[in-house]
Structure 1
Amino acid sequence: MGTNKKQTGIAKFFSRSAGAGKDVSPDSGVTPQSTANKNGDRQHTQSQRRLTPLKRSAWEIDNVPTVHGENSIDDVIDLSGTKETQLELHRKKQFRKALGDGEDSHAAALREVNERFSWLQPNNILDAEGHDPGHPEYDARSIHVPLDVYKKLSESQKQYWAVKKMYRDTIIFFKVGKFYELYEDDAEIGAQTLGWKMTITGVGHCRQVGCPESGVEEAVARLVNAGYKVARMEQMETAQEAKAARGPKATIRRQLTRVHTPATATGNVSVEAVHLMALHETPMDSHASACQESRVSFSFAFLDAAAGRFYVGVAPRELLVRRNELSAITQRALMTHNLAMEITNVSAAEFPDPKVFASGDKFQEVFKGLCVPHNIQAMGAGALTALSALCLYLKRANADEELATHAQKVVSYETYAGALCLDGPTLTNLELLENTTGGTEGSLFARLDTCASPGGRRLLRLWLCRPLRDVGAIEQRLDAVSEIVQRPSLVAPLRAALRAMPDLDRAHGRVRNAAAAPQQGLPTWALEAAQKRRLVALDTAVTAVAKAISILREFQSGRHDCSRPLSSTLLTTAAASAPDEHSPAVKTLMDINETLVSSDEPAKGSKTKGKPKAEHRSVSIHPEALWSTQRQSASESQHDILDREIAVTTLLIEKFNAHSSVWEGMEEALSTLDVLTAFAAFTETSCGETCRPTILPPASNSGTGAMLDLRGLWHPCAVPGGGDSTCIVANDLVLGGREPDSARTLLLTGPNMGGKSTILRAASTACILAQMGCPVPAASATLTVVDRIFTRLGAQDRIMAGQSTFLVECTEAAAILQHGTPDSLVICDELGRGTSTFDGYAIAHAVLKHLSSSVDCRLLFATHYHPLTMEFLGSPRVKLGHMAALVSGADATSDGHITFLYKLLSGACPKSYGLQVARLAGIPHEIINVAQQAGMKLEEKLQGAFSKKLRMPLRTEELQCLHDIVRASSIGPVEKLVEAWMSCGKDTP
């Protein structure tokens, strides 16, 4: 192949070329050439090589154990008949030899294995310390290997179980020659997850599966993606080296290398961040035990392994907790939210008390090499404990060199600092990130997500979960979106460039994690593979950074729109984040780029072999850089050359990481531009009217009352983007005003399916979008800053947490009552429906009264308890509203048919029209008739239950009309007139 040249994003800066030769290794994908031997016979070298039996070739041949008898496979090929037929017959013959002549022999072998490993049965399991699962100190990560069993194992199996006893929760690939094997419980997982056939053979004569070394990377990745922890025990020397060092009977040394888990996978390519989190709980009442129902405080630290960042303080993939520490209320909370994560219980020693760090030696031991801030003690004792638990966990997984030592500096994480607080129930109830089935279709995130880059998508998710509270910062985002909408020529080339570039954040993270040199002592092939991954990661990051610089410079220069320079603060700041061409960062980037040699196939002379099929190029170091310090010695071995290559790569990575702050600034700038253009696209693709919201300071700061004024409001997820605007019914919603005594509570009634829940969600969504800095789906929107949104929506139980529907309602209501402020927005939908009518009404009445009078927050309260409308009819803090519907064909025997108008009108709705909705649902006519008669009888029995409603002589519409007439006149306070009329029972006023 000829020389390939690669042009980076900054064409005038970077270019590189390399020669590439062909590689005819078994995995290279190059078709082997047949050659003639001296007798003229054609020899297919690679094909014959694949058929040659190896001592551990139990999986090359349909996972059937190979037992060498009188004829080898090479002998079988020379026998009469087709090769395929003879080979199949030989396989069957070997299988029968391995397992016996019939099923009885196979069953007997299984029984023998089960008896030998009876200590692995669930009822016999003990941890490494001999504790059974009922013991408070039981460690599920370990297992007890009986001493008498251990003594009977072969030397290699002793190596395996010496490690496995401390890593029972980890699938261990055990290297034997050219193969990796899984034993017993691990073998069962491998058979189920990977589809491998299980055999009863091997060194330990146990259940086992396995694969050749060429397939282990894919197998590990599949198991990690399936949620398992996976490790490899590598051979640290060859058989010849072992015999030379320790005699002819020496066992090859093996060592546990990196433990890969779903939460610590540095090669993760998922758009979403995956976190490992350590949680530490401290009782706020020092006299209360951990199991008592007392208030507790939480400290946590979490790691985004793919990005190489530590935080101290998201839904984590794996949660570390100290065994027996969590209180009952915390355990219920974890079950309540049903997070898709694995909870790992660790010992108290792995959650060290901060006092142990008084010694500098202990601090260095735990945080060795980690860039911790000098004032880490100010983060609090609990946070320090959580962070140390993370570091010790990574040390156990042999990932501390890769992750902890070379991660970014530890960053303090302040929960909801400066952000609109959206708790778990609110994120779920409003379907901001996911729908009710766990997908994204129909969620607000899916509606907004037109991002062109993975980094933009991650930032959009963050902005959606943490809207702003700072009016100035919100206005800056709105200014940027307005400018983008007015200058569409800027958007198309920017989005095309973002779509084409690599994931800069992930590429940078992989380089950061590759800073540590491969573990010493690994076999040469493993070192070569690790070194190649480092070079590919560095090359990808350099390319991504170069493209990022190019994109930002083009955006800054206005190459695609020279009509006028950028004006909004966010856009100009983002464009200016690209370093100058004479800056040290760019010079370093150019030096690294000139040092690396990249091609579509392995570079000639490259020391990195066994290129995975998924790779599309090979990266090596330019020979001049490799030998710049001293001349190559003819006596240097391949291992010495590899060591030199590793050292040079480490130096290049250190140079690249020295400018991490510059690369991170560009990452943030590009992601910000991506999200802002997505906001502009939301405006352009919306089928209804959108507007720039007017954001006012919080009511608590301005001295005026909180307000929410939304005109022409509609829900952006109710109609797909680009849909028909004729199906939108826009509504006006006004809560509060400039005057402190304005009504900030809307008591909303209306028929089932009439749109009450939709308008509640639409109002919440509008506030979230406004404080994200995004246009709002309304004709106009004015609001004071919201500090927190509470939602009490839907009816659901939580069986795993032992919570009934009504308990869930009360729990959510309690959170509102405890934490609501005058700047909050509260959404309550049918509070109290999970219990009896009277109890539910009492709870609804009490909560509504407290929130409207004492808290005085913005409150949308939807209910089917119609007597509440009469209770609060005269309240100046509560306004009545209902969702309109048209009923036709009603008479003494029928409730008629209902047509939903989805329009918010003032006043109360007289009934919920449940029977009409039941008819729409298809309930038989005769059942509805019976229900109608039963309802009439029940209303008669409850004659005195809600007396005010039954004494009302006028329909709700008539009463509201009277209310408006009296208010427009100068007769006097309307509330007193209405109260006097109500007290007279049946006389009209």
Structure 2
Amino acid sequence: MKDREITTLKSSEIDLNMATPMLKQFLDIKLKYQDMILLYRMGDFFETFFEDAVTIAKDLEITLTSREGGALGRIPMAGVPAKAVDSYIAKLLQKNHKIAVCDQTQDPAEAKGLVERKVTRLITAGTLSDPNLIDSNKNNYLAAITKDKNKDLYGLAYVDITTAEFRITQTNLSQLISELNCIKPSEILAPTKKQKIQPFQIVPEETPDLDDEILRNFNCTKCSPSLFDEKFAQKIIKETFNVSSLECFGYPEFTLGLISAGVILDYIRETQKQNIPKFDVISPYTISEFVSIDANTRKNLELTETSRDKNKKGSLLWAINRTSTNMGARLLSKWIHQPLQNLTEINKRQDAVEELLQDSQSRIKLTSLLDKVYDIERLSTKISNNSVNARDFLALKDSLENLPMFKELLKDKKSPYLSVFNQDYSQINTLCGIIDKTIADNPPISIKEGNLIKPGVHEELDYQRSLLSGGKEWIENFEKKEKERTNIKSLKIGYSKTFGYFIEVTHANAEFVPSDYTRKQTLVNAERYITPELKKYEEEVLSAQSKSVEIEYKIFCDLREYSKEYVTALREISHNLASLDVLLSFAIVASEHKYIRPYVDNSNALIVKGGRHPVIEQLLPMGEYVANDLCIYSGAEENSDMTQFIILTGPNMAGKSTYMRQNALIILLAQMGSFVPAEEAHIGIIDKIFTRVGSVDDLSTGQSTFMVEMNETAMILNSATEKSLILLDEIGRGTSTYDGVAIAWSVAEFIATKIKARTIFATHYHELNIMCNSYPYIKNYRMTIEEKNGEIKFLRKVVPGGTSRSYGIQVAKMAGLPEDVISNAMHLMQKMQKNYVTKLGITPSKQDSETPQLSLFIE
């Protein structure tokens, strides 16, 4: 190979015999982690070589250099400073890379040849536990998926290793995708499948064996298919949880979920090495426990972020989040994404909110206490996986010391969510006392640098510290003793870096030097000596620092091991505090914005009086939001006059979409257990919420706007039940007008007569207004506007009756289209209106009769 030529070979293609000793060490390690980027410590930098260097140079936007590789020529190299490596790791994780961190495990000064190195950390998106790399207000889930070979059934398991939450479920593909969009795992483990051999390939490529939609939207990691095995899962789960049977974890009903759980446990063992967290339980659940919300609906309703710019402000989470703790914030996000269908549990939450709402003084005091609580949930896991430090222990102690005050404030509450604090905390107090007596007030983050432990904890530690801090006193006493023993008044004790401690005696007093003095150094006017006692003291002082650090580390490890007995109890406390935090947040929002307790039951009703959008009303000046009513029932009989299906008409920007989203959010809040922004509300439990509001082309699958719209509509028609809520906006607008009206009419008719779900159907196809003549449970409503001198004002009020005008030209004028365009559009519309004929009995209102919408139904 030519000199200075940079090799393009991959690390797996290198002949080790051609590599330099350092590169051979690198390649030996890289061979074990070929699917990861290997960060290889060299002094103050972590370096990468070969294909890893090319990858990180591109993804981190750093310089790609090269270094001499002996017979290999020059090899690609790129590196990052060791002191900032975590920030670079975070960026690589965002690019879906997995990282192996290879550290120097030997002091370079002691190395005779190559410095010893080994991989100390394996970092993947789903196994992050470093607080610097994860969002404290979000869960970081690692998931695994197992597919049934014979039917549409999947087993899903997911875990957050920072909180030890471990859950499994089983469902079909459609609901699986919805659930993945709910939990948003950072990484999904999947079995591999071999693709067909492509031209110029020696072996077929292996890809994750998952649906294309999952592969497009999630970070998937390939695993050996042999791991997705029931016997393997039985073995590893029994070993991990020390149980003899898996029935306590839902076996055999959740067999596929448990197989996925086994894969996760194996992956955690592989990546976490000796720092495996303690898991208390695997919790099975069924999808039907929660309101089903598909990915599009989550996006349309802007539950935790806005759909346009992904900001928290403007989302439902932003509007109702008054939590004080990180664990409370995480739980609130879960409750938003998983509203309940269990009426008993909904009422339990509402009872707690009501008690907190009625006691303003306790609300203030509880909020103040929660402000002092650290993330006990993640602290408990740090104890279990040996990553806890001394500052963490102090944070835990400071948090737990507030429990008696929580107990006192909540002692008279009836709700199970609140009365749970009325328990004996004596064991927790014992833990707090031990931490308080053991850990120093301002310890360092590192647990191997000393200064962790308080004085008085360990006699030997105190002695070693006295050697360090009390040396002056010992020297003074030793000097005084030697003066008295030798009768040499000018004798003094000194210290030099070269010779250590010494006794200095002038030449004039040399005859009085005792026989146990050993000459160490001769000066012009004096001699320096050492004695066995002084030598022993010197050795003790020199070793005191390392000994004290060693003793402190052992004391800390003993405390850590002792604390592991409390991990399960700490997690229960953290769960109780997180629930309190969320319920208190509900009560605070209810107080601030005059929310009321909705009546929730299993009826077919959906009645909201004076409902408001929980987000928009907070973005507008107080009192400006226009409240609206809704009264709608599912399952109407054929000739029933009870409203089941609303056709909502009105111009763009009049508030149709806001009205629909508002009612969906009120339902979600109610089934979360929260109070709602309304004067009155009666919510018959909803099992699924569907929205189809706006579309764009899906370039990743080559689908047009209209195809996307039809796919979403098809999913709704095939999945909705009588207990669902359906919100449809502008069905059929992506094709010709005739096709669009026909599709919209047919979809509306199918929902109203076959599914019989509670539905709001917003449209500009005013021809649909006449459907009420055939189906009395279909009712027309419209958004009111005020028109004056050709200008319109949106009143935002929903009233009975349809409209046959869209006011499109007026809205276009408001948007700023050139006057020539507006004038021409008015002229063309008036010209076309000369042929306006209606044969289907549409009777425009007086307001609408001047410039009616053109009818499609013309003979």
Q: Does the alignment reach a TM-score above 0.5?
A: yes
Alpha-carbon distance between aligned partners in 2 of 1:672 and 1:484, rounded to the nearest angstrom: 13
Residue of structure 2 in register with 1:866 after alignment: 766
Secondary structure of 1:500's match? coil
Q: Assess if the C-alpha contact under 8 Å between 1:510 and 1:537 holds in 2.
A: no
Cα displacement (A) at 1:882: 0.9
- Code of the residue aligned with 1:348 in structure 2: it is P
Are the counterparts in 2 of residues 709 and 733 from structure 1 also a CA contact under 8 Å? yes
Partner deviation per Cα, 1:542-583 (whole Å, 9 max, x = no partner): 3255234244234236xxxxxxx334443223x325x332xx
The corresponding residue for 1:40 is none
Which residue does 1:265 correspond to in 2? 128
How many pairs are equivalent?
Answer: 739
User: Which of 326, 329, 332 does residue 454 from structure 1 map onto?
Assistant: 326
1:155 counterpart residue number = 21
Query: Following the alignment from structure 1 to structure 2, what is the Cα–Cα distance between the partners of residues 798 and 305?
Result: 34
Preserved contact between residue 426 and residue 791 of structure 1 (Cα < 8 Å): yes
Using the alignment, how far apart are the partners of 2:87 and 2:242 within structure 1? 33
For 2:479, the equivalent position in structure 1 comes to none
Q: Which residue of 1 aligns with 2:483?
A: none
Shift of 1:345: 2.4
8 Å contact 1:322–1:345 — kept in the other structure?
A: yes
CA displacement at 1:390 relative to structure 2 = 1.9
Which residue is equivalent to 1:608? 448
Which stretch shifts more, 468-477 or 747-756?
A: 468-477
One-letter amino acid of the structure 2 residue matched with residue 553 of structure 1: K
- Give the letter aligned to residue 655 of structure 1: Y
Contact 1:310–1:407 (8 Å) recurs in 2: no
Preserved CA contact (<8 Å) 2:293 2:689 = yes
> Which of 146, 149, 159 is matched with 2:14 structurally?
146
Counterpart CA distance in 1 for 2:342 and 2:232 is 40
Check conservation: 2:643, 2:777, Cα contact below 8 A.
yes
AA of the residue aligned to 1:233 = C
Between the aligned partners of 2:735 and 2:634, the Cα distance in structure 1 is 36
- Structure 1 residue 498: Cα displacement: 1.5
Local SS of the residue matching 1:685: helix
Choose which of 695, 701, 708 in structure 1 pairs with 2:600: 695
User: How many angstroms does 1:203 deviate by?
Assistant: 6.7
Answer whether contact 1:453 1:499 (CA < 8 A) is retained: yes
For residue 862 of structure 1, report the CA deviation from its aligned partner.
Answer: 0.8
Does residue 619 (structure 1) correspond to residue 493 (structure 2)? The answer is no
1:731 maps to 2:578? no
Local SS of the residue matching 1:307? coil
Q: Residues 694-727 of structure 1: CA distance to partner in whole angstroms, max 9, x if unpaired?
A: 112x23xxxxxx1111111121212226x53442
Q: Note if contact 1:690-1:778 (Cα within 8 Å) is conserved in structure 2.
A: yes
Deviates more, 1:539-548 or 1:195-204: 195-204
Contact 1:505 1:667 in 2 (8 A): yes
Q: C-alpha separation between the residues in 2 aligned to 1:353 and 1:607? A: 41
Match of 1:808?
708
Tell me, yes or no, if structure 1 residue 928 matches structure 2 residue 822.
Answer: yes
Describe how 1:316-355 pairs up with structure 2 within 5 A.
316-324=185-193, 331-334=211-214, 339=217, 341-349=218-226, 351-355=227-231
Equivalent residue number for residue 590 of structure 1: 433
Letter of the structure 2 residue corresponding to residue 608 of structure 1:
K
- The question of whether the paired residues in 2 share the 8 Å contact of 1:455 and 1:503 is answered with yes
What's the offset of the Cα at 1:283? 4.5
TM superposition shift of 1:396: 3.6
- Does residue 570 (structure 1) correspond to residue 442 (structure 2)? The answer is no
Given the alignment, which residue of 575, 583, 596 partners 1:668? 575
Unaligned regions of 5+ residues in structure 1, if any?
1-108, 121-142, 244-249, 286-295, 515-532, 558-564, 612-617, 700-705, 890-895, 961-981
Residue 911 of structure 1, aligned match among 797, 800, 805: 805
Q: How does 1:665-814 map onto structure 2 within 5 Å?
A: 665-686=572-593, 690-696=595-601, 698-699=602-603, 706-720=604-618, 723-736=620-633, 741=640, 742-814=642-714
Match of 1:92 in 2: none
* Structure 1 pair 717–923 and aligned structure 2 pair: CA distance change class (3 A): same
Is 1:546–2:422 an aligned residue pair?
no
Aligned mates of 2:647, 2:63 — CA distance in 1: 64
Shift of 1:251: 4.1
Provide closer, same or farther for how the CA distance between residues 662 and 778 of structure 1 changes in structure 2, counting only shifts above 3 A.
Answer: same
Matches of residues 173-572 of structure 1 in structure 2 within 5 Å? 173-176=39-42, 180-187=46-53, 199-201=65-67, 206-210=75-79, 220=89, 224=93, 228-237=97-106, 251-268=114-131, 270=135, 271-285=137-151, 296-313=152-169, 314-324=183-193, 331-334=211-214, 339=217, 341-349=218-226, 351-356=227-232, 363-364=235-236, 368-370=239-241, 374-375=246-247, 376=249, 377-378=251-252, 380-397=254-271, 399-403=272-276, 406-436=277-307, 437-514=309-386, 534-536=388-390, 539-540=393-394, 542-556=396-410, 565-572=412-419
CA distance in 2 between partners of 1:218 and 1:794 (Å): 38
C-alpha distance 765-957 of structure 1, shift in aligned 2 (>3 A) = farther
1:626–1:321 Cα change, 3 Å: farther
**Is contact 2:191-2:208 (8 Å) kept?**
no
By how many angstroms is 1:459 displaced? 1.2
SS at match of 1:144: helix
Q: What secondary structure is seen at the aligned counterpart in 2 of 1:676?
A: helix
Which one-letter code corresponds to 2:844 in the other structure? R
Describe the SS at the equivalent of 1:599. coil
Q: 1:908 to 1:538 in 2, by over 3 A?
A: closer
Report the Cα offset of residue 643 of structure 1.
7.5
Matching residue's letter, 1:409? D
Counterparts of 2:689 and 2:825, CA distance in 1: 39
Provide the TM-score with structure 1 as the length reference. 0.68
Aligned with 2:721: secondary structure? coil
Q: 2:839 — aligned with what?
A: 948
Write the letter of the residue equivalent to 1:846: S
Contact 1:503–1:544, Cα closer than 8 Å, also in 2: no
Relative to structure 1, the CA distance from residue 661 to residue 329 in structure 2 (aligned partners, 3 Å threshold; closer, same or farther) is: closer
Aligned partners of 2:290 and 2:87: how far apart in 1? 42
Does the C-alpha gap of structure 1 residues 710 and 554 become closer, same or farther in structure 2, counting only changes over 3 Å? same
> 1:199 and 1:329 mapped to 2: Cα distance?
37
Distance, in Å, in 1 between the alignment partners of 2:447 and 2:560 is: 19
Distance 1:370 1:221, change over 3 A: farther
**Cα RMSD between the aligned structures?**
3.8
Question: Alpha-carbon deviations, 1:613-668, whole Å to 9, x = none?
Answer: xxxxx53487855979xx99999999998787666545433432323332122212
Aligned residue for 1:815, secondary structure, equals helix
Separation in structure 1 between the aligned mates of residue 233 and residue 140 of structure 2, nearest angstrom? 29
Aligned mates of 1:919, 1:957 — CA distance in 2? 23
CA contact (8 A) 1:308 1:513 kept: no
Query: What SS does structure 1 have at the residue aligned with 2:193?
Result: coil
CA distance in 2, matches of 1:476, 1:388: 34
CA-to-aligned-CA distance 1:380-434 (integer Å, 9 cap, x gap): 442233223223333442x14323xx32134234243422222222111111111
Q: Secondary structure at the match of 2:33?
A: coil
Post-superposition Cα deviations, 1:201-258, rounded to whole Å, max 9, x if no partner, equal 4676544354676565666566557764332223444568765xxxxxx544432222
C-alpha contact (below 8 Å) 1:822/1:855 kept by paired residues: yes
Identity score, percent: 26
Distance 1:913 1:683 in 2: 38
- Rate the CA distance shift 1:439–1:330 in 2: closer, same or farther, 3 A: farther
Question: Secondary structure at the residue paired with 1:884?
Answer: strand
TM-score w.r.t. length of structure 2: 0.77
Question: Are the counterparts in 1 of residues 391 and 444 from structure 2 also a CA contact under 8 Å?
Answer: no
Gaps of at least 5 residues in structure 2 are 170-182, 196-206, 466-535, 850-854
Instruction: Using the TM superposition, give the Cα deviation of residue 502 of structure 1 relative to its aligned residue in structure 2, in angstroms.
Output: 1.6
